[in-house]
Chain A
Amino acid sequence: MYNYHADIIWSINAMLLGMLIVTSVVIFACVLVKSHLSQMRRLALIGIKKNVYEMVLASGKASEAVCQPFISTITPQQFIDIATNRSIEAAFFNDSEQRLLKSCFVNPEEVARLAKIATRSTIKWRRIEAIICLGYTESREAVEILKKSLYSKDYDISYFSMVSLGLIKTVESARILIDFLKKDLSAGAKIISVLESFPKEISDDVIKLTEYHDPVVRTWAIRLLSKFAVDKDIFRIEKLTHDGSDEVRAAACDCLGDLGNKSAESVLLKCLEDESWSVRRQAIFAVGKVMGDAALPEVIKLINDSSWVVIDAVKDAMVDYIEAAIPYIERFLVGEDEIAKKYSVLALEKSGYMGKLFNDIFSGNDRDAAVRLLKGVMRSKSHAGLDAALNNLDPAVRAKVLELLVNQE
């Protein structure tokens, strides 16, 4: 008989059983405590809501006398609940209530209280809540504290400091964020999305960022510039259409299009010939925004582009300026180029021009041209049926159009 050491196994089992019982009890207690705490949190918020509602009705302004009775009892967690309405199932705080509470928090004592928690608390998420609240106070002291915590080794503290700095929309906080971006590129996307809600005063700092050595940073800077840039910055952005990175060039085209300045026309037209498809595609959109349908003759030339993404952009341009595109579409439909035919029909369908053709045929207004174009569509064999356009017509109109088409044929 081998020795199986059953006694050892039973000891392990006893230990496991003990842990099982303890875990079961903890689960039971946890469910009850959680449910109770969540109820308490809800009730506390309802209480605050009642107070604030009465105060807004009474004065609507955050004087010391108004704020004093309750502000020091509000925890950072409750403040965030109120500022972001994240516990909406408990209480909803409207704009004036949120404003009143936020202005109550903007006093040196409150900022000092929050700063103490943000820097000294041993509980990480309490610190983070205080960090977020500091952002809402928008005070100078808060910027200093957030600048320090931004460089914390703890990812969460650093991240929420970044978000909190984004709440303080000043040039100073923007500079801190831009400096951080240069040191930690992985945070770039987040920082750019935070900065986009900043005022135009930060444009000079963003312009400087377009000269940064890393193309990713340059691309982000240009994307931001479409929100901030003014006419004096145009030449700098135009220069970036010659950048070594195709992503930067495409972003520059996009930015020039958003700015809509006429002086960029020639630069954008040159970009239509760029070696990268992403730049050509972006140039098509941009040149349309700047020149309108006057750009169509140049854009149409790309219907034979090597990239289908560019051809798709040409189609979108035709859709945007369908009236101006009709002569080109007529030419494509009778030509030999199957891709041009296909995209011409798509442009007609997407722009809703098919419906107009039918109405023209019915009303007799420009009927010959409409019939000619429709025949072109049908003979091109690039359409997937006219049912959809016909079905949108009034039944009487549809019958008449079909009759006319049959007679014409």
Chain B
Amino acid sequence: MFFPKLVYIIFVVSFGYFITLTLYYISLALIGSFEEARRSRQGEEEDYSRFYLSPLNMSVSIIIPTHNEEEWIIDSLKSVMNLNYPEFEIIVVNDGSTDKTFEVLNDMLKLRPIDAMYIKHYKDGRVRGILKSETFPYITVIDKDAGHKKAGSVNAGLNMAKNDYICVVDADTVLERDALLKVMAQVEKEPDKIIGIGSYFGLVNGFKIKDGTIVDRSFSYNPIIAYQNIEYIRSFIGTRLAWSKYNAMPNVAGGFGVWRRDVMYELGGYSTEFTCEDVELTFRAHDYVVKNKEKGYKILMMPYCSGWTEGPSNILSLILQRNRWQRVIDETILKYRYMICNPKYGFFGFFTMPYFLLYEVFGVFVEVVSIALVAAGWIMGFLQRDVFFAYFAFMLLSQAFSSLLCILSFIERDRILKVRYVMYLVMLTFVEFFWYRWIISLAKLMGTFDFLRKKRSYDMYVRPKRAS
């Protein structure tokens, strides 16, 4: 009689778990939707020309860490150079690339070595040389040995950065021209409070890019890419905007994020001990300000389309990427476990942390174990076929519904997606549960086991060659 009882208990617990999760998602999607509408409207009514012309505006150091990005670095760099922002410097960090990244940079920038002052305040690894562009004097290239992951590269850039704000841009990200302007106009409203800020970015796969400018926005119909587009919308619009409203943002994404330099200095830069750097830094920033009793600080997420990054286009690459994401979440939650339901951390401690623990860390186990046991129970005759299908249908429908709410919120403001593509995404949400979700679950399981095996490497998936 033990097994039927076990199946029953697991069934009740997991059903309760999924009901709670669905309600949590629906609440976040609704809050995020209102927040998205408000922020988008703020951006629409803002007169950016005044900000652009102001000599009192805030200067930004843009850091682009790059490792074997010969295919992308020029477009990414050009998109940053094309930014519609009055005052910024660019620091490209070549992190021991073994391909032609350095050569293509040199061809474009006409680099020459300089003997600049370089103080190692942040942990970065061995710097081989510092070079300045002859053609674009505001661009500096730091050439360094590999070995301290992306965090070490960004830290090297931080060591050279001069401006009050730090913007980190991935080397495979193409920015929209007004990305920085829109985000910094928000910072200008409360510069003493906003310590970190990010904005929505999607997947560039399928787009045509010329000289750092997107000339054709055709979203990829490859289902692996399309599902990631849904996930990005779900993540940025569905959850992060709502968390941001209550200052409970867990992640200023590494693809495009701005931090106040004085805060970065106090934090000691990015940690090279973790698999990835962005989630951990955001957690540490929350921790730092709470421990230092800095009231009223904000870490924000904006809904503006700031840029586009390349996503994995096949299942193996996707698993590798999600494995890495899972590891960093496990590492971060383990380190900052004292924040969970800790009243000192406010909404972050009560809304975000429990979600991360229950869904991001243990969710995959609940999902897999419950489905397996319920299926086993049905096969062994402990529960009716009717119950199994009801349970299965509930999981499918609840996920599809929360996805659709986020898509609705996204298209309500942004007119980037064409009608046909929106319909395609809607259709995909209904079948996500049959295959894509299980690929992600597999990647999460592998990530968790790798985490337990203490694997901390920053695995890059192999990118396909770009069509010229």
**A-side interface residues toward B, CB under 8 Å?**
1-2, 4, 6, 9-10, 12-13, 16-17, 19-20, 23-24, 26-28, 30-32, 34-35, 38, 80, 84, 86, 125, 128-129, 132, 156, 159-160, 163, 166, 185-187, 189-190, 192-194, 196-197, 216, 223, 308, 311-312, 342, 345-346, 349, 382-385, 387-388
Contacts and interface: CB of A to CB of B under 8 A. Distances in A.
A35 B415 contact: yes
B115 A345 contact: yes
B190 interface: yes
A160 B390 contact: no
Nearest to B57: A193
Given A38-B415, A132-B45, 7 more contacts: A2-B382, A16-B394, A27-B408, A31-B411, A189-B188, A308-B117, A388-B112
A158 to B, nearest CB: 11
B419 A35 contact: yes
A129 B45 contact: yes
B415 A193 contact: no
B397 A13 contact: yes
B114 interface: yes
B48 to A, nearest CB: 9
Interface in B207-264: none
Nearest to A382: B115
A190 B188 contact: yes
Contact of A17 (B8, B46, B397, B405): B397
B386 A192 contact: no
B45 A384 contact: no
A146 B29 CA distance: 34
10 contacts: A2-B383, A6-B387, A13-B394, A23-B401, A27-B422, A30-B411, A34-B415, A80-B45, A186-B192, A384-B115
B408 A26 contact: yes
Interface stretch (B36-44, B308-316, B328-336, B350-358): B36-44
> In the complex, which of the residues B45, B400, B404, B411 has the most CB atoms of chain A within 10 Å of its own CB atom?
B45
A20 B397 contact: yes
A216 B191 CA distance: 12
Given A13-B397, A86-B44, A193-B50, A4 B387 contact: yes
A160 B426 contact: no
B47 A28 contact: no
B16 interface: no
Contact of A19 (B45, B192, B387, B401): B401
A152 to B, nearest CB: 15
B401 A16 contact: yes
Interface in B4-53: 4-5, 8, 11, 15, 19, 38, 41-42, 44-47, 49-51
B462 interface: no
A259 to B, nearest CB: 15
Given A128-B45, A186-B193, A23 B115 contact: no
A377 to B, nearest CB: 11
A31 B410 CA distance: 11
> In the complex, which of the residues A1, A9, A30 has the most CB atoms of chain B within 10 Å of its own CB atom?
A9
B390 A9 contact: yes
Interface in B365-412: 382-384, 386-387, 390-391, 393-394, 397-398, 400-401, 404-405, 407-408, 411-412
A263 to B, nearest CB: 24
Given A32-B419, A125-B41, A186-B190, A12 B426 contact: no
A28 B423 contact: yes
Contacts of A34: 411-412, 415
B54 A196 contact: yes
Nearest to B112: A388
A23 B401 CA distance: 8
Nearest to A315: B117
B106 to A, nearest CB: 12
A16 B397 contact: yes
Contacts of A80: 45
Given A2-B8, A34-B415, A128-B45, A16 B391 contact: no
A24 B426 contact: yes
Contact of B401 (A20, A128, A383): A20
Contacts of A342: 115, 117
Interface residues of B, number: 62
B383 A4 contact: yes
Contacts of B464: none
A17 B129 CA distance: 60
> In the complex, which of the residues B46, B56, B129 has the most CB atoms of chain A within 10 Å of its own CB atom?
B56
A32 B387 CA distance: 39
B113 interface: yes
Contacts of B407: 27
Contacts of A26: 408
Rank and list the top 5 A-B pairs by shortest CB-CB distance, nearest first: A388-B112, A9-B390, A384-B113, A16-B397, A2-B8
Nearest to A342: B115
Given A27-B422, A34-B411, A196-B56, A13 B390 contact: yes
A73 to B, nearest CB: 21
B453 interface: no
Contact of B55 (A10, A19, A24, A196): A196
B113 A385 contact: yes
Contacts of B54: 193, 196
Nearest to A192: B56
B467 interface: no
B277 to A, nearest CB: 26
A288 B64 CA distance: 34
Contacts of B41: 125, 128, 156
Nearest to B390: A9
Contacts of A197: 50
A6 B188 CA distance: 55
A23 B405 contact: yes
A34 B415 CA distance: 8
A12 B19 CA distance: 10
A20 B51 contact: no
Interface string B81-110: 000000000000000000000000000000
> In the complex, which of the residues A6, A185, A342, A385 has the most CB atoms of chain B within 10 Å of its own CB atom?
A6
Interface in B305-364: none
Contacts of A27: 404, 407-408, 411, 422, 426
A189 B189 CA distance: 7
Contact of B404 (A4, A6, A23, A382): A23
B44 A159 contact: no
Contacts of A129: 45
B83 to A, nearest CB: 18
Nearest to A23: B404
Given A16-B398, A308-B119, A384-B115, A6 B384 contact: yes
B134 interface: yes
Contact of B15 (A9, A84, A388): A9
Contact of B45 (A13, A160, A193, A311): A160
Interface string B410-436: 011001010100110010001000000
A19 B391 CA distance: 18
A345 B117 CA distance: 12
Given A156-B42, A308-B119, A6 B114 contact: no
B401 A189 contact: no
B219 to A, nearest CB: 14
A167 to B, nearest CB: 9
Contacts of A16: 394, 397-398, 401
Contacts of A9: 15, 387, 390-391, 394
Nearest to B46: A163
Contacts of B117: 308, 311-312, 342
A308 B121 CA distance: 13
